[in-house]
Amino acid sequence: MTSALVVDNVFVPSCSDNVAPTIESTTIKSSSCSNVEIAAPCRQLRPRRESAKFDEREVVKKIRSVVDQPTFSGDDLAFLEQHDSLVKLVKRRRSSYSKHKERSKEFEDEPEILKQSCIRLAEAIRSSKHTIMYTGAGISTSANIPDYRGPDGVWTKLQNGQTVTVDQSLVSATPTYTHMAIEKLLQVGALKYIVSQNCDGLHIRSGVSPDNISEIHGNMFTEICSECHKRFYRIFDVTEHTGLRRHMTSRCCDVCGGKLKDTIVHFGERGDKRWPHCWESACSHVNDADVIICLGSSLKVLRSYKQLWLTDRPKKCRPKLYIVNMQWTPKDSQAVLKINGRADDVMQRVMTQLGLTVTSYESDSDALLRLAIPIASSESETFRTGIIRVPPTHAHLLAHVTPDAAMRVDPNCPFSRKIGPDDDDESTRADLSRDTAVVSTQPDMPGWFGKGRKRVLVRKNSKRKRKKVLE
């Protein structure tokens, strides 16, 4: 009589059935049968799958070498015909890579074309009833803050395995001509609202009112109470010890005692409808807009925010789109006008056409000084980044800072920390469970600067390493 054993809901024939296992198996001992063998097909199939992938990679390599040849022999043609589907795949990948490289290049329009384009943009601003502006990292590059996706951008370098070095404290960066021109347009009513991806706080420092801007990815000078939601503007970078899904800054609210957190939105995180990211205000102005100007943004992130583009409306009912950027953007085909030029150069020409004079930035009149609260004595050791220049007229902001701390936060001291493609946020994590953050002797890069992208790259690199081991 045939006997059997059920192990974990799996039917297993007994030894008396004379089953001869033909593949790798696992031995299980039981009372009815001393040696019961369970087939393990997964262990057998895994090497087969890996072997098939390896063979396919070898074929792809050979296809690439054959395709690169100027002429094909009879054997080459037969080989390509035999692997027709892989040949098409290789060609598609090459075409996609070439297109990506071409779109990553920066170029400027010819002087005459640039001049005429700026005249058209100025005319659009003059005749518009409700102009809004989307700004990106490209308007801050002249302030020595690297952009992200340009040829020398933070994420471009990390993607290529290069190390990113910041030559100066980001706190010491000051508003550019473009920032001051945008503030002037708001002042005279030619511009109604700004939606900015930038976390550098330069719009606020140029004089833009917090009521006229949605900083949808946060502001490095702003922290909010996690309990009463009161906002606090600071004269130093509040993100020194924060990162992806770690937003507590180690400081406390002076009203309710709640813990303060930064306002930065990393990849995979979501902004708030109301302050500080002000999505509700942004959407309200988008609905009223008849002109949208995109300045210094690749739009590769902004395009995913459907509410900014009114895609639910017919095309003829959407605002007219004007784009100023030195690279290709995914919205170029939808734009009324695309200007390939530097933000400062374009804005100088536009402001001249509009007959508006732009005042230069003066550190003594930095708008952040009016908004910021004084540094408490207990907060002196919670940060090591520099502070913005504080003139004697605002000495009260530093009244409680100890002399040692005042020397330590010299704004002219550059960051000595570098971001590398193999860095991991976990290794630089500060212990924020304590009341006072643990501050290292080396100042950290700001919590918003490249860290979100960095962690994604680490995962990708680890996968590549595992593939090489399998090969």
Q: What is the CA radius of gyration of the chain?
A: 29
Give CA–CA dist 322/124, Å, rounded: 9
Residue 286: which residues within 8 A CB-CB, separation 6 or more?
Answer: 132, 195, 292, 307, 308, 310, 319
| Residue 320: both structure tokens together | 């007219």
| β-strand pairing of 291-295 with 164-165 | unpaired
On whether 252 is known to bind a ligand per the annotation, the reply is: no
On whether 283 is known to bind a ligand per the annotation, the reply is: no
Give CA–CA dist 273/275, Å, rounded: 7
On whether 256 is known to bind a ligand per the annotation, the reply is: yes
| β-strand pairing of 259-262 with 248-252 | antiparallel
Give CA–CA dist 160/178, Å, rounded: 30
DSSP output for 276-292: TT-HHHHHHHHHH-SEE
DSSP secondary-structure letter at 302? G
Q: Catalytic residue at 229? A: no
Residue 65: which residues within 8 A CB-CB, separation 6 or more?
Answer: none
Is-contact 275 226, C-beta < 8 A? no
Q: Which of 179, 203, 217, 285 is catalytic?
A: 217
On whether 317 is known to bind a ligand per the annotation, the reply is: no
Specify binding-site residues for Zn(2+).
Answer: 225, 228, 253, 256
- The residues that are catalytic are 217
Specify binding-site residues.
Answer: 225, 228, 253, 256
